[in-house]
Structures are given as structure tokens and as C-alpha cells.
């Protein structure tokens, strides 16, 4: 018997839905997380997610939305279109990296 889509096993997530261990992330997982919030990932989404993962690997912290807008090649307006409401948080969630922290 062939099931519709091979179910992606979901790794442990925190209360806000962020992966506890970013090493457990896979592209298929990003697709599954996107489906959960009713999104379909386009190449533009992937450009952002790839930037977020690379930046996190380099810096050790999740980039804030301004950093993403300045360095990913996708500007702020487009980010809000692609990742409605909170692009910083949503992109980090789908990229499997921690929730970006802000100052206080």
C-alpha cells in the first residue's frame, strides 16, 4: 500500500513550535512545517530560509528581520508578503533555528 506522502517524523519542538535541535532540520521538514501554517514554499521562500540557516551557522544566533532584509536579497516588503505577520519569527521557525531574540 502506498500512502499519499511519506510522513515526516516531527522532531521535538518548544512551546512556540521552534525546533529544539536545529541539526534535526531537513528541507522536507520545512515543507511539512509550512503546510501546518497553510503555506507552500516557493523559490523566494527558500532563498530566505537558506540565508537564515547559513547566517545562523556563521553567527550562532538567529538573524533579526532587518538583517534578513538587508542580507538575504529579499526586501522587507517582500518578507512580509512571503511570511505574513512576523517574518523574522516565521522564517526562523521554518528554517529550524531558534526564535530570534530582541533587545529589551
User: Is position 103 annotated as part of the catalytic site?
Assistant: yes
Contact 101/79 with Cβ under 8 angstroms? no
Cell of 82: 512571503
Does 64 engage in binding with other proteins (CB under 8 A)? yes
Cell of 100: 530570534
| Interacting span for other proteins (CB under 8 A) from 2-10, 20-28, 37-45, 67-75 | 67-75
Question: Between residue 71 and residue 100, which ones bind other proteins under the rule CB under 8 A?
Answer: 71, 76-77, 79-81, 84-89, 99-100
Alpha carbon distance 92, 95 (integer Å): 5
State whether residue 101 is helix, strand or coil: coil
- Which positions touch other proteins (CB under 8 A)? 16, 64-67, 70-71, 76-77, 79-81, 84-89, 99-104
Residues annotated catalytic, as ranges? 103
Amino acid at each position: 500500500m502506498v500512502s499519499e506522502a511519506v510522513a515526516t517524523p516531527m522532531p521535538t519542538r518548544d512551546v512556540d513550535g521552534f525546533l529544539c535541535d536545529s541539526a534535526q532540520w531537513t528541507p522536507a521538514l520545512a515543507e511539512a512545517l509550512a503546510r501546518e501554517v497553510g503555506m507552500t514554499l516557493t523559490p523566494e521562500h527558500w532563498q530566505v530560509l537558506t540565508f537564515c540557516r547559513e547566517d545562523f551557522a556563521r553567527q550562532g544566533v538567529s538573524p533579526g528581520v532587518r538583517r534578513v532584509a538587508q542580507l538575504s536579497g529579499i526586501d522587507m516588503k517582500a518578507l512580509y508578503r512571503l511570511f505574513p505577520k512576523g517574518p523574522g519569527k516565521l522564517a526562523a521557525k521554518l528554517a529550524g533555528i531558534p526564535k530570534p531574540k530582541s533587545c529589551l
